Amino acid sequence: MNKGLKTALATIALAQFLKIPIKQLETGRWDWRLFFETGGMPSSHSAGVSALATFIALERGMRTIDFALAALFGLIVMYDAQGVRRQAGELALRLNELAEEVKKLEDDPQQAVYKKRQQQLRARLGHEPIEVVGGALLGIATGAVSHWACRRRRKARR
């Protein structure tokens, strides 16, 4: 498998795992479901694209088209994570609150019948800017470590 891709995927998995102890420090509860959820600190999307861009920059150089593509798409992903996806998550929170208010009204015989939605909308979709920065820093670190490890292996083969 492509070493840059391996680096990015491993970094995404690491970021997803790190969400669990970070949230435990905040809440005092271990929530292993966070490994499979979006949102939270650090941003695994930011970590993955930063790891890939860093690995490519160190392997091939910053003047290559490979790095330009990785950096551009990485910036788009990070902007989207803290912009559009974050706004969608905040909208989901408001809609869930509205559903709770409507639920209170269903006990009132004067109101029309309201069928409860089986599942709430997912509100953890995007990231706060600090979560994106945290993911980017994690990605830069793992991309650099991966490059260093590959370079070391190449030297050992010679």
At 80-133, the pLDDT tens digits run 887 776 677 677 778 778 877 777 777 666 655 445 555 665 656 667 888 888
Q: Is 109 exposed, middle or buried (CB count within 10 Å of its CB: 0-12, 13-18, 19+)?
A: exposed
Which of these ranges, 4-13, 16-25, 99-108, has the smallest mean pLDDT?
Answer: 99-108
In a domain, 120, yes or no: no
| 152: pLDDT strictly greater than 70 | yes
In a domain, 66, yes or no: yes
In a domain, 106, yes or no: no
In a domain, 133, yes or no: yes
In a domain, 116, yes or no: no
In a domain, 153, yes or no: yes
How far is residue 122 from each of residues 37, 39, 74, 154, measured CA to CA in Å? 10, 10, 24, 45
| 59: pLDDT strictly greater than 60 | yes
Among the listed residues 16, 10, 8, the one whose alpha carbon sits nearest the alpha carbon of residue 33: 16
d(CA 150, CA 102): 57
In a domain, 40, yes or no: yes
Total domains, the chain: 1
Among the listed residues 150, 17, 51, 39, the one whose alpha carbon sits nearest the alpha carbon of residue 88: 39
Decide: helix, strand or coil at residue 130: helix
- For the chain, the average pLDDT equals 85
> Which pTM value belongs to this model?
0.69
Model confidence band, residue 144 (pLDDT cutoffs 50, 70, 90): very high
Mean pLDDT of 26-53: 91
Mean pLDDT of 7-31: 94
Which parts of 28-128 fold into alpha helices (H)?
Answer: 44-60, 65-82, 84-105
In a domain, 109, yes or no: no
**Structural domain of residue 53, as residue ranges?**
3-83+126-157
What pLDDT does 10 receive? 97
